[in-house]
Homo-oligomer: A and B are copies of this chain.
Amino acid sequence: MKPIKGFPSTSQDDYQLNIMNIARHGVRNFSRQEIACQCPQGMFRYTYLDAFRRMNQFAGALKALGVSIGDRIGVLDWNSHRNYEMYFAIPGSGAVMLLLNLRLSPPDLSYVIHHAEASWMVVDETLLPIAEMLWQSCKNIRGFIILTDKNLSDIQTTLSPVFSYEVLIQAQSPEFEWPNLDETSAAGACYTTGTTGQPKGVYYSHRDTYLHAMTICSGGEMSYRDAFLQLVPMFHAMGWGGVYSATMAGSKIVLPGMYRLDRLGELAELLVKEKVTVCNGAPAILMPMLEYIRNLENKPDLRGARFLCGATEPPVAMMKGYKELTGAEIIHAYGATETSPLVSINRLKPWLENQLSDDEKWDLRRKQGYVVSGLDVKLLGPDNTEVPHDGKTPGEICVRGPWITGCYHRTPMSDQQFTADGFWRSGDVATMDAEGYLKITDRVKDVIKSGGEWISSVDMENELMSYPPVLEAAVVGISHPKWEERPLALVILREEHRGKIGKDALLSHLAHKFAKWQLPDEILFVEEIPKTSVGKFNKKVIREVHQNRYMVGAG
């Protein structure tokens, strides 16, 4: 689908969107705006202007070290002020900032560094043990830049050669001539960490990152009056675009530095002391923070604050808890590493305000929201045609647009994740209602493909578990010679019901909600269901164990 050339414009269409323009804009208008970072010694504070000067110095240092346009530089750091500087200085200098997820296993991290062919690494001193574990397998690395306030001579490490970030930048001028980069050049890279296969590289262009930041600014309604807390780790999908959009908006920026779930008090205090009005985060961190707040004698007043919440669906209890205890609004947003990540955001439209009951509104807020401006989206059903936007018919979310990945970096056989017309297949199954709100119901790999239709395993599990005698239930699709797949249910009954409840009772319970053709062919009463390390049903194992159950001659 090659674009059609219309009449020539007179616009400066060759002007390149560039991440450094965001920093330049920030410092031009908001030079006095504050950046505050939590450090072991206390709060470190400086201004946009201070940070900008250091970006210039670091770009100069990279050049002096021999880093060239297009080189990949691995970064292993917390949400620190130095990371903030590198977020601009590395891409701005023409190199690619390879964000290393410090939660990955060493073999996965080694794979990523190898695959990206990183030539330099920047490491926070607290993360040196991770880098040291990787080093033996990363012989392409030409040197390590250590993020520390200490003298390099006081740092013990087996890495070599090592440089101090602070010493490097002190040797440089606070002015740097930033290159005019083609906007399609890669700025940063993150690797997806699916449960199967090797990590896959998403290399975000300057254009991608810039347009995404503009969209976060609008969608999150961020302004120079806001104080933005970057709670999402900056190694996850470019920190969800937080620091770029906050800088574009001229917001105060608050960085939590190194933070841990066992030191939530500090985070909650940060929210209050720094008067945070916007933050981003996953329920995994927002939930325990709420519990911490619940136990405080004086609840923080966070009225007017908007917390962009992603990764998984926020529980209603959590959203209500924040509202009631602090006044903060939780705004659910949806995306993935492959989508920079913002795809959809949940805002309540004015006409729904009066139309819906309070309960309906809370229910709506759990949805993944409507697709932001700038992206094309379609929901593809089992036969690969678009499903109606009726809030009922499920389809796989497929997305196309300037901040969506069009491929994976040097990954053969990844075509199947894209449609012929260039949409990225999310693997998420959702419905869309007439108002455009997405509601994820399943993962594609968890729906049962039967006779050209889909059966939701999640819905069926929930329905089974709503039957009081059932303790746990898992439903998977098993290969079938005629129907492609057919459902199989594994059920653990509560002890007092064992031996008393049979398949027929469960089937007639399911029949209230499911059509006859959707009902499972088999229901197995078991004492245990295989689970993953994080406690989810391990459907891969279930499917393997029962793979031949519906084949001719079997079961």
Residues of A within 8 A of B (CB): 1-17, 21-22, 24-25, 28-32, 69-72, 94-96, 179-187, 201-205, 207-208, 211, 214-215, 217-218, 221, 223-225, 248-250, 347, 349-351, 370-374, 376, 400-409, 422, 434-436
Contact = CB atoms under 8 A, between A and B. Distances in A.
A29 B408 contact: no
A12 B94 contact: no
Copies in the complex: 2
Given A31-B434, A218-B218, A7 B203 contact: yes
Contacts of A435: 29, 31-32
Nearest to A188: B9
Nearest to A408: B10
A7 B185 contact: yes
A180 B3 CA distance: 5
Nearest to A399: B12
A4 B181 contact: yes
Contact of A15 (B22, B186, B218, B400): B400
A11 B403 contact: yes
A53 to B, nearest CB: 15
A224 B223 CA distance: 17
A98 to B, nearest CB: 10
* 10 interchain residue pairs of minimum CB distance: A6-B185, A9-B205, A11-B208, A7-B70, A3-B182, A9-B186, A13-B184, A12-B406, A11-B205, A29-B436
Contacts of A434: 31
A88 to B, nearest CB: 14
A203 B29 contact: no
Contact of A182 (B5, B181, B214): B5
Consensus secondary structure, chain A interface? loop
A12 B400 contact: yes
Nearest to A252: B350
A542 to B, nearest CB: 34
Contacts of A13: 183-184, 205, 207-208, 402, 406
B180 A1 contact: yes
Given A3-B181, A8-B203, A401 B15 contact: yes
A21 B370 CA distance: 15
Nearest to A352: B32
Contacts of A373: 21-22, 25, 214, 248
A7 B181 CA distance: 10
B406 A6 contact: no
